[in-house]
C-alpha cells in the first residue's frame, strides 16, 4: 500500500520530497467503469471528500486540515488561506513537531537498530535474488549504496521506495510539505506546537511487525517501483481535488493487481495496515485533541488520509459530540 507507506514520511528522517516529477495520474488512465467503481467505493466512507474542516462542541473549536508531506508550490495558497485560523489558535497540533523531530534524530543516532538490521540476515539474504537485484537498482537510482541498503530494516526501505528517484534530491534538505510550512508559520507567530503522539510511535509499530510481514510489504514496494513517480502524481491530484479517500480505494485495487494477490487478500492486508498506521493512531489522537480544545481554539494538521473513514479523526470527533463542518479549501 504505497500511499499508506507514504503517510509515515513526516515522522522519519527523510524530509518531505519535492513534487517536481513528471509522473502521470494513474487513476485518470483507468477505464471509466473502473474509475467510477473506485469513486463510488470511496464516497461510501464518512467525510470522504474534503481537506479542511471545523469541529465544534459548545465553546470548544478545533480546525483541522489534512496535509500532504510533499513539497508543492500550490501549498503556498493553502497556507495563505488557512493562516487566519492558525493565528486564532492557542496551539498547533501536528504528528511530529520540532521537539519530536529532534528526539527522533537523537534516537536514530544512539540506536541504529531503529533503522538498520544489526544482527541476522541482510535483505540480500532475505529476498529472492530477482527482488534483490531490482532493489539494488532502486537503491542505485536513489544514490544509496547497496551494501548500506541491504542492512536497512525492510519496512524502512519500503518508505524509501515510496519516494521516486526524481525526488531524492530533496531527501537530505529540510522538508517543506504542508506540515512543515504550518510549523514554520506557528513558530513565526509564537504559537505553541504540540505533537499528537510520541516521536517513536511509528518505530514501535514497525518493531511490532514480524520480519515476514515487513518483507511482504517490501516485496510489494519493489513490485511497484517502476510506478513511483506516477504514484506521486496520482497522490497529489487526489489531494488537491480533496479526494484523498479515492487514493485508498485505488491503492486497494492496485495491490489486487499484483501477481499472486487476490482482492480479498489485498483488502485484508489493507485493513491490517490501516489499523496499525491509521485507525489505531487516530483513536489515540482524540484525547489529545479534546484536552487541547478545552484550553482554547486548536489548529490540527496531519496526513489527509487520517480524516475520512469510519474511524477517521472526523468520525471519531463526531462520535464524541462534535459538530463537523467542511471549510473552503483553495482550488488547485
Q: What is the pLDDT of residues 188-243, one digit of tens each?
A: 999 999 999 998 887 787 778 888 888 888 887 888 788 778 888 888 899 999 99
Q: How far apart are CA 116 and CA 234, in angstroms?
A: 30
Give the domain range for residue 259: 2-326
How many structural domains compose the chain? 1
Laid out side by side, the sheet with 193-195 consists of 193-195, 91-94, 298-303, 60-67, 52-57, 323-326
pLDDT of residue 18: 52
- C-alpha distances (whole Å) from 151 to each of 137, 141, 145, 147 are 16, 17, 10, 7
In this prediction, residues 43-61 reach a mean pLDDT of: 97
Alpha helices, DSSP H only, in the chain?
2-6, 32-43, 75-88, 98-110, 123-126, 129-141, 146-149, 154-161, 178-188, 201-207, 211-223, 228-240, 244-256, 263-274, 280-293, 313-319
Q: Is residue 89 part of a domain?
A: yes
3-state DSSP call for residue 224? coil
- Under the banding of pLDDT at 50, 70 and 90, the label for residue 170 is very low
Place of cell 499528537: 196
Q: Are 292 and 277 in contact (CB under 8 A)?
A: no
Kindly tell me if the per-residue pLDDT of 171 is higher than 70.
Answer: no
Strand ranges, E, within 151-242: 193-195
The average pLDDT across 106-130 equals 90
**331 assigned to some structural domain:** no
Q: What is the pLDDT of residues 12-40, one digit of tens each?
A: 333 445 555 678 899 999 999 999 999 99
User: In this predicted structure, what is the pLDDT of residue 233?
Assistant: 84
Q: What pLDDT, on a 0 to 100 scale, did the predictor assign at position 56? A: 98
- pLDDT of 5 > 70? The answer is no
Instruction: Please tell me the pTM assigned to this model.
Output: 0.88
Confidence (pLDDT) at 7: 40
More confident of the two residues 231 and 294:
294
Instruction: Summarize the confidence of residues 56-76 as an average pLDDT.
Output: 93
pLDDT of res. 8: 42
DSSP code, position 332: -
Residue 195 is predicted with a pLDDT of 95
Q: Predicted confidence band at 319 (pLDDT cuts at 50, 70, 90)?
A: very high
Q: Is there a domain that residue 332 lies in?
A: no
Amino acid at each position: 500500500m504505497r500511499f499508506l507507506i507514504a503517510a509515515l514520511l513526516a515522522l522519519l528522517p527523510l524530509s518531505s520530497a519535492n513534487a517536481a516529477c513528471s509522473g502521470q495520474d494513474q487513476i485518470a488512465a483507468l477505464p471509466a467503469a473502473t474509475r467510477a467503481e473506485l469513486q463510488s467505493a470511496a464516497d461510501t466512507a464518512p467525510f470522504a471528500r474534503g481537506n479542511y474542516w471545523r469541529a465544534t462542541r459548545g465553546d470548544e473549536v478545533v480546525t483541522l486540515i489534512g496535509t500532504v508531506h510533499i513539497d508543492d508550490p500550490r501549498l503556498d495558497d493553502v497556507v495563505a488561506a488557512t493562516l487566519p485560523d492558525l493565528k486564532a489558535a492557542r496551539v498547533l497540533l501536528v504528528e511530529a513537531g520540532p521537539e519530536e523531530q529532534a528526539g527522533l534524530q537523537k534516537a536514530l543516532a544512539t540506536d541504529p537498530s531503529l533503522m538498520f538490521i544489526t544482527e541476522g540476515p541482510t535483505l540480500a539474504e532475505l529476498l529472492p535474488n530477482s527482488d534483490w537485484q531490482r532493489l539494488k537498482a532502486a537503491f542505485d537510482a536513489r544514490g544509496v549504496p547497496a551494501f548500506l541498503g541491504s542492512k536497512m530494516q525492510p519496512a524502512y526501505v519500503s518508505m524509501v521506495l515510496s519516494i521516486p528517484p526524481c525526488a531524492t534530491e530533496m531527501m537530505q534538505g529540510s522538508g517543506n510539505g504542508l506540515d512543515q510550512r504550518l510549523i514554520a508559520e506557528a513558530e513565526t507567530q509564537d504559537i505553541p506546537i504540540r505533537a499528537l503522539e510520541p516521536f517513536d510511535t511509528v518505530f514501535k509499530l514497525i518493531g511490532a511487525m514480524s520480519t515476514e510481514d515487513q518483507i511482504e510489504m517490501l516485496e510489494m514496494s519493489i513490485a511497484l517501483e517502476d510506478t513511483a513517480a506516477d504514484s506521486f502524481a496520482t497522490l497529489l491530484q487526489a489531494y488537491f481535488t480533496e479526494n484523498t479517500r479515492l487514493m485508498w480505494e485505488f491503492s486497494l485495487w492496485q495491490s489486487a493487481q499484483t501477481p499472486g494477490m487476490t482482492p480479498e487478500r489485498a483488502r485484508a492486508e489493507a485493513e491490517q495496515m490501516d489499523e496499525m498506521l491509521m485507525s489505531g493512531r487516530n483513536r489515540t489522537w482524540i484525547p489529545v485533541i479534546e484536552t487541547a480544545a478545552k484550553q482554547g481554539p486548536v489548529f490540527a494538521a496531519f496526513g489527509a488520509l487520517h480524516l475520512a473513514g469510519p474511524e477517521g479523526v472526523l468520525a471519531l470527533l463526531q462520535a464524541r459530540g462534535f459538530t463537523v463542518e467542511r471549510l473552503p479549501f483553495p482550488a488547485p
